[in-house]
Homo-oligomer: A and B are copies of this chain.
Amino acid sequence: MSKQELPLINAAAVDPGACCAPLLCEPLGAAEAGELAPLFKAIGDPVRLRLLSLIACHEGGEACVCDLTSAFDLSAPTISHHLKVLKQAGLIDSERRGTRVYYWINPGVLARLSAILGSRQGAGMVSA
């Protein structure tokens, strides 16, 4: 089907004012999609999404496994596994201090994911 034949009935389905989000402005290339998809996949799990939030909101912006387990009905090794997935994706970073490993989020990576999906300062699609 050529572009000429495409019905335009739903032309208003996408808010024209929203068109500043990279995803909505020009088709995402295979390379960028291949780079971004694993990041979204990593947060596509309720435990990991909450872990990310718990770490970011924890005092000082960092937390160890022992600070996180009480929020879940999960064992420390399971929490550690999810933290490992988040770290491998680059969403969090960590540092061992003594017997404990402390985790903090990588705000730049989250900002990139946020920007690719929509809103940007002052002219996002949040109002859509």
| List of B residues within 8 angstroms of A37 by Cβ | 43-46, 48-49
Name the interface size band of chain A: 35 or more
Tell yes or no: A77 within 8 A of B by CB.
no
A8 B64 Cβ-Cβ under 8 A: no
Find chain B residues with CB under 8 A from A118 CB.
Answer: 107, 110-111, 113-115
Instruction: Choose one: B23, B30, B67, B108; the contact of A6 (CB below 8 Å).
Output: B67
A residues at B contact (CB < 8 Å):
1, 3, 6-15, 18, 21, 23-30, 33-34, 36-50, 52-54, 56-64, 66-67, 71, 93, 95, 97, 100, 102, 104-105, 107-108, 110-111, 113-115, 117-128
